[in-house]
Amino acid sequence: MTISKISPFAPKSFAKMPRLMGVEIATVASGMKYKNRDDLLLIVFSPGTTVAGVFTKSSTAAISVHLTEKVVEKGHGRCLLVNAGIANAFTGLKGKQSANSIISSLSKISGLPEGSIMMASTGVIGELLDDKIVNTHIENLWNSRGKSNWYQAASAIKTTDTYAKGASQTIEFDGQKVNICGIAKGSGMIAPNMATMLSFIVTDAKIDKPLLQNMLLTINQKSFNSITVDSDTSTNDMVLVAATGSSNVSILSQDIKLNKFISAFQKVMVELAHQIVKDGEGASKFITINVTGAVSDKSAHTIAKTIANSPLVKTAIAGEDANWGRIVMAIGKSAEPVKTDLVTIHIGGILVALNGQKSDLYDELQIEKHIKSDSITIDVDLQMQGGSATVWTCDLTHEYISINADYRS
Amino acid sequence: MTISKISPFAPKSFAKMPRLMGVEIATVASGMKYKNRDDLLLIVFSPGTTVAGVFTKSSTAAISVHLTEKVVEKGHGRCLLVNAGIANAFTGLKGKQSANSIISSLSKISGLPEGSIMMASTGVIGELLDDKIVNTHIENLWNSRGKSNWYQAASAIKTTDTYAKGASQTIEFDGQKVNICGIAKGSGMIAPNMATMLSFIVTDAKIDKPLLQNMLLTINQKSFNSITVDSDTSTNDMVLVAATGSSNVSILSQDIKLNKFISAFQKVMVELAHQIVKDGEGASKFITINVTGAVSDKSAHTIAKTIANSPLVKTAIAGEDANWGRIVMAIGKSAEPVKTDLVTIHIGGILVALNGQKSDLYDELQIEKHIKSDSITIDVDLQMQGGSATVWTCDLTHEYISINADYRS
């Protein structure tokens, strides 16, 4: 394993997480792939917990994705087992048998129905998860539930992540607190069409499955689905949300409480999404791309993603080079409706191009000053209609190559 | 300008080019962007020359693309002016005026109609081509026609290319020779939806415009449209073919000569396409990706391109790491019909995965030996239907980052 530099965006300390009822965490070290660190995570939810999820759209998705999708379809889940280091994807019948054996073992020890057990794997594709090793840890995991905290949970699911990712929100309704806690892992393969990473979010609000699923889909579009690191899509990725209901506060679809809850939920997901981008493999710059004036929000999103995924845009920013013509290239490449003579571009709030050509006020020194900072903003106004979108990404650096040219060894 | 290493695939010498009647070449150094090298190219064709072309699909295409498209539509062209270093794309009205001024100047000096003059530009997007500078060289260029050779032509259109690219074929029909000569430049932004580079091919066969255009479209799909370096698409790219007819050999659509000609034409275009990939920015490996068993040729092409464009696949190969799971990831990401349990993968002809899982015969040492060579082959058999495609690409290296993080300075 390449020793990679800790991201310059790593938070000084892990997010403060409130105590959230109805959830118990356990982590252990299996030694399967990593030495001296936990790599198995168990999260146990109280009876009645509803679950929602979004999953990778990969046509070669891992067995864990298929199994967990089935649990989420029914809408109730009692626990989640995660392993880091081995994806157990593209492992055929053996991989399926291994996953089933682990779930069966966990069901026997916990007494929970197999159909209530969710599973997530992350790591090298094509490597088989050894159920014999995992199963030797199941009893210990189950008996340790409640002994680990969110930081340990977030640490146990890391692969090339350089820091543990967590976020939380607490809101009050008539003096009653509702908490939302989430963890996530990145950090390559963060695109497109979904989160394409792992994130697990728990709330103690009581929310029925259809509403929880709808909220997740909407907010996912503006958070995990609006980030990208290298345009690659994993076989294993999922975002799961569990609502334990332990706070006794119910959120209903026609509820006056709904907007406040959605706003808090979105803050958690956007914060986790930002943490993933900021820990993108080799990231040295956090880039925000706003596209406005597109023919639709969808079109704006596609254009913003195309800019965000362009290796030439990303390397220019890595090199602190104000080569804004590459943004024009990416806009043109998107295949979305664009009128070149209307395109207006700002970098760091500074006018670069107005109505399809370099601005007369163009001041490269000012732009270079902005590009030397660690947070870059690109605003593209297509001046056609009202469609808009924001996408976050990071730059493409030597460090990305170093990490990925030798990830497995 | 970063001094980049010459590609390890650079040919020992420029291709041998036969004498081709009906075409005259001139090159000069304008000093606009580069020092001590030619950066303007004029190719003059004999009267009656037919022309065909394919152009970038970018919605922010450069003025040179629009102007040349109009000439190609009519089917006859008398000359082509190319400049390297400045793309004159996204330069609005000023860019249009500059291009028109240059064409007008060339028309006056040469006596050729403005509508028969084609133009191509390559270089930094957003920078305006200075017509005053170019126009001071037009007379010299026109008077020097015939004094430069193909090597000088191929050299004058380079940007970050580390070698001049040329290819030729000579075929005989009843003792009468027909020649095809082509040049090209890369070397980033080589994808998708078209050549996304510049290539100019001339034959002395006599071919009418519709047939020439049809041949170009078909062969382009299997050559320039089957290569990719970094998935980015330029605003300026085009492939032009001119048939001067000077050999007095006519190629007709119902002609017994047609297949032989197409075969030679394809050899030239595929060879130029390979040279572009082998000079891809920072390339250290030439990668051939064959996809078979897809539901259609188009589907196979999309899957092969998705593998070829995956940063994770490309960095693994750069690192000589047999991380074949990333090929599975890319297949899954393509959104094309795939049955995971049928997918079979060979690397360098060595079986890696059979029917959706790692082969029992998997021998990593053998695969690593292949990956350490400079030409890598990946064969993916989806075992569904008869669709197949081949795509060529290069790896993603530190050198790519170095070149692109500081291209302009």
- Amino acid present at A354: L
* B331 chain-A contacts, CB cut-off 8 A: 59-60
CB contact under 8 A, B318 and A397: no
Cα A324 to Cα A285: distance, rounded to the nearest angstrom: 16
Looking at the fold, whether A143 and A114 belong to one and the same domain comes out as: yes
Residue ranges with strand state E in B195-327? 198-203, 227-228, 238-243, 286-294
Q: Hey, is the C-beta of A159 within 8 angstroms of any chain B C-beta?
A: no
* B338 chain-A contacts, CB cut-off 8 A: 59-60
* B235 chain-A contacts, CB cut-off 8 A: 328-329, 332
Q: A386-407 b/e with 16+ CB inside 10 Å = b?
A: ebbbbbbbbbbbbbbbbbbbbb
Output the pLDDT for position A50: 98
Structure-token pair, residue B309 = 């464009």
Point out the residues of B that are catalytic: 196
* B62 chain-A contacts, CB cut-off 8 A: none
Widest CA span of chain A, in angstroms? 72
Q: Hey, is the C-beta of A97 within 8 angstroms of any chain B C-beta?
A: no
Looking at the fold, whether B229 and B337 belong to one and the same domain comes out as: no
Q: What is the DSSP string of A296-328?
A: SHHHHHHHHHHHHH-HHHHHHHHTT---THHHH
Looking at the fold, whether B325 and B225 belong to one and the same domain comes out as: no
Point out the residues of A that are catalytic: 196
Q: Hey, is the C-beta of A1 within 8 angstroms of any chain B C-beta?
A: no
Look at chain B and report how many structural domains it folds into. 2
Q: Does residue A219 register a pLDDT over 90?
A: yes
C-alpha triplet B302, B308, B312: angle, nearest 5°: 120
Task: Tell me whether strands B238-243 and B50-55 are parallel, antiparallel or unpaired.
Answer: antiparallel
* A337 chain-B contacts, CB cut-off 8 A: 59
In the block, tokens 């196979």 appear at: B300
Q: Hey, is the C-beta of B58 within 8 angstroms of any chain A C-beta?
A: yes
CA B318 to chain centre: 23
Task: Tell me whether strands A176-185 and A117-124 are parallel, antiparallel or unpaired.
Answer: unpaired
CB contact under 8 A, A319 and B397: no
Mutate to test the interface with A, among B1, B4, B55, B59 (most CBs of A within 10 A): B59
Structure-token pair, residue B49 = 């020359």
- Strand arrangement, sheet containing A40-45: A23-28, A40-45, A79-86, A117-124
Nearest CA in chain A to B326: A125
Question: Is residue A95 domain-resident?
Answer: yes
Cα atoms in the Cβ-side hemisphere of radius 13 Å centred on A321: 25
Could you report the per-residue pLDDT of A260-293, keeping only the tens digit for each?
999 999 999 999 999 999 988 788 999 999 999 9
CB contact under 8 A, B358 and A87: no
Peptide bond into B263 cis (omega under 30): no
CB contact under 8 A, B401 and A406: no
Question: Is residue B11 domain-resident?
Answer: no
CB contact under 8 A, A234 and B329: yes
* B341 chain-A contacts, CB cut-off 8 A: 92
Question: Is residue A18 domain-resident?
Answer: no
State the pTM of this model: 0.86
Q: How far is B127 from chain A (nearest CA, A)?
A: 8
> Taking phi first (over 0 means left), then psi (-120 to 50 degrees means alpha), and beta for anything else, what does residue B41 get?
beta
Question: Is residue A2 domain-resident?
Answer: no
* B127 chain-A contacts, CB cut-off 8 A: 325
Q: A117-141 b/e with 16+ CB inside 10 Å = b?
A: bbbbbbbbbbbbbbbebbbebbeeb
Q: How far is A82 from chain B (nearest CA, A)?
A: 20
Output the pLDDT for position A379: 98
Question: Is residue B6 domain-resident?
Answer: no
Residue finishing a domain among A252, A278, A304: A278
Looking at the fold, whether B201 and B311 belong to one and the same domain comes out as: no
Q: Does residue A105 register a pLDDT over 90?
A: yes
Mutate to test the interface with B, among A336, A364, A376, A401 (most CBs of B within 10 A): A401
Chain B from 127 to 146: CB within 8 A of any A CB: 127-128
Could you report the per-residue pLDDT of A147-159, keeping only the tens digit for each?
999 999 999 999 8
Looking at the fold, whether B248 and B298 belong to one and the same domain comes out as: no
According to DSSP, the residues that pair with A203 across neighbouring strands are A180, A243
Give the Cβ contact number of residue A94 at 10 Å: 15
Q: Does residue A227 register a pLDDT over 70?
A: yes
Output the pLDDT for position A282: 83
Looking at the fold, whether A226 and A331 belong to one and the same domain comes out as: no
Low-confidence residues of chain B: pLDDT under 50:
1-3, 189-196, 409
According to DSSP, the residues that pair with B84 across neighbouring strands are B122
Looking at the fold, whether A265 and A383 belong to one and the same domain comes out as: no
Question: Is residue A7 domain-resident?
Answer: no
Out of A235, A358, A406, the one facing B329 most closely (by C-beta) is: A235
Q: What is the ipTM of this complex?
A: 0.79
Sign of CA dihedral A85, A89, A93, A97: positive
Cα A39 to Cα A28: distance, rounded to the nearest angstrom: 6
Looking at the fold, whether B166 and B199 belong to one and the same domain comes out as: yes
CATH number (domain holding residue A383): 3.10.20.340
Could you report the per-residue pLDDT of B88-145, keeping only the tens digit for each?
999 999 999 999 999 999 999 999 999 999 999 998 888 999 999 999 999 999 999 9
CB contact under 8 A, A337 and B234: no
Q: Does residue A64 register a pLDDT over 70?
A: yes
CB–CB of A141/A42 below 8 Å?
yes
Peptide bond into A187 cis (omega under 30): yes
Nearest CA in chain B to A405: B319
Chain A from 196 to 255: CB within 8 A of any B CB: 230-235
Residue finishing a domain among A256, A278, A300: A278
Out of B92, B357, B404, the one facing A357 most closely (by C-beta) is: B92
Question: Is residue A185 domain-resident?
Answer: yes
Burial of A12 (0-12, 13-18, 19+ CB in 10 A): exposed
A406 pLDDT tier (thresholds 50, 70, 90): low
Structure-token pair, residue A74 = 């029914």
Three-state secondary structure call for residue A72? helix
Cα atoms in the Cβ-side hemisphere of radius 13 Å centred on B30: 27
Question: Is residue A137 domain-resident?
Answer: yes
Looking at the fold, whether B270 and B339 belong to one and the same domain comes out as: no
> Taking phi first (over 0 means left), then psi (-120 to 50 degrees means alpha), and beta for anything else, what does residue B291 get?
beta
Count of pairs with CB atoms under 8 A, one residue in A, one in B: 217
CB contact under 8 A, A58 and B398: no
End-to-end CA separation in angstroms for chain B: 5
Mutate to test the interface with B, among A196, A315, A395, A396 (most CBs of B within 10 A): A315
Structure-token pair, residue A332 = 């043109």
Q: Does residue A409 register a pLDDT over 80?
A: no
Output the pLDDT for position B281: 79
What does the H/E/C string look like for A326-382?
A: HHHHHHHHCCCCCCHHHCEEEECCEEEEECCEECCCCCHHHHHHHHCCCEEEEEEEC
CB contact under 8 A, A59 and B324: no
Sign of CA dihedral B5, B9, B11, B15: negative
Sign of CA dihedral B226, B235, B155, B27: positive
H helix count then E strand count, chain A:
11, 16
Q: What is the DSSP string of B338-387?
A: --GGG-EEEETTEEEEETTEE-TT--HHHHHHHHTSSEEEEEEE--SSSE
Nearest CA in chain B to A398: B398
Quote the domain boundaries for residue A36. 23-278
Q: How far is A307 from chain B (nearest CA, A)?
A: 10
Looking at the fold, whether A293 and A273 belong to one and the same domain comes out as: no
CATH number (domain holding residue B69): 3.60.70.12
Q: How far is A36 from chain B (nearest CA, A)?
A: 24
Nearest CA in chain B to A318: B405
Cα A74 to Cα A70: distance, rounded to the nearest angstrom: 7
- The contacts of residue A189 (CB under 8 Å, 6+ apart) are A196, A197, A229, A230, A232, A233, A234, A237, B312, B329
Residue finishing a domain among A278, A296, A323: A278
* A335 chain-B contacts, CB cut-off 8 A: 57, 59
Chain B from 344 to 373: CB within 8 A of any A CB: 353, 355-358
Output the pLDDT for position B187: 63
Q: B137-148 b/e with 16+ CB inside 10 Å = b?
A: bbeebbebbeeb
Looking at the fold, whether A365 and A256 belong to one and the same domain comes out as: no
Chain A from 258 to 297: CB within 8 A of any B CB: none
Q: Does residue A230 register a pLDDT over 80?
A: no
Q: How far is B316 from chain A (nearest CA, A)?
A: 4
CB contact under 8 A, A338 and B60: yes
Looking at the fold, whether B273 and B292 belong to one and the same domain comes out as: no
Cα atoms in the Cβ-side hemisphere of radius 13 Å centred on B302: 14
